[in-house]
Amino acid sequence: MKPMPNFPPVDGSTEPHEARDGDARPGSGVEQSDLELVRRVQRGERGAFDLLVLRYQHKVVKLVSRLLRDPSEAEDVAQEAFVKAYRALGSFRGDSAFYTWLYRIAVNTARNTMAARQRRPLAYEAELSENEQTVVESRMRHGDTPEATVLSDEIHRTVNSAVEELPEDLRTAIILREIEGLSYEEIAEAMDCPVGTVRSRIFRAREAIDRSLKPLLD
């Protein structure tokens, strides 16, 4: 049996700026908010799970992509991880943060995929089998194409450009929140304004970014 490859750090901390992501710091509002959504899913509010997927989809896809070292498979594996998480959510007690629990499921799912890949014989046939054709079509459908990569870069440029064009108070608020990961209270202290103003500024910054991105994503 072949040894499992060494995985990079689970939290994706190879990039320094991600370490201060701040999205879900222990005991943070996001962690509490996640728990609130989890409790709602456990009580049967299926829509709350959709919000958790929306919140963590990029992080999980990115994590899985790093683990597999193959972005083309990342979305399928991430999708499987989310479905597993939904099925197992009844057992989630909140002893750890939801995202930690979710990441563990994603890591295990990626490991299973790696193990299955090692067992799979290599195919050298020029023609694709029906199954392989399906996989290729699935990847194309899921956006793992050169066009998708271009779109990702374009999104990044558009977001940055939109942020650059924001009035200074909105730009400062969104950067302190999204990049520095400060809470509203911390931002309010830093910007010397009420928490309600911070909330409004961050919202307006996001709306401006949304308006810039809309033509690209529609």
Site string for another protein, 50-69 (x = CB under 8 A): xx-xxx-xxxxxx--x----
Q: Which is nearer to another protein, 33 or 172 (CB)?
A: 33
Residue 173 is a binding residue for another protein (CB under 8 A) = no
Residue 163 is a binding residue for another protein (CB under 8 A) = yes
Site string for another protein, 25-54 (x = CB under 8 A): ---xxxxxxx-xx--xxx--xxxxxxx-xx
Q: Which of residues 100-119 bind another protein (CB under 8 A)?
A: 101, 104-105, 108
Q: Which of residues 116-155 bind another protein (CB under 8 A)?
A: 142-144, 148, 152-153, 155
- The values of phi and psi at residue 121, to 5°, are -70, 150
How many residues belong to the chain?
218
Site string for another protein, 82-101 (x = CB under 8 A): xxx-xxxxxxx--------x
58-62 — which CB contacts under 8 Å span 24+ positions?
59/12, 59/23, 59/99, 59/103, 60/102, 60/103, 60/106, 62/12
Q: Which is nearer to another protein, 129 or 156 (CB)?
A: 156
> How many Cα atoms occupy the beta-carbon half-sphere of 152 within 13 Å?
9
User: Is 206:177 a contact under the CB 8 Å cutoff?
Assistant: no
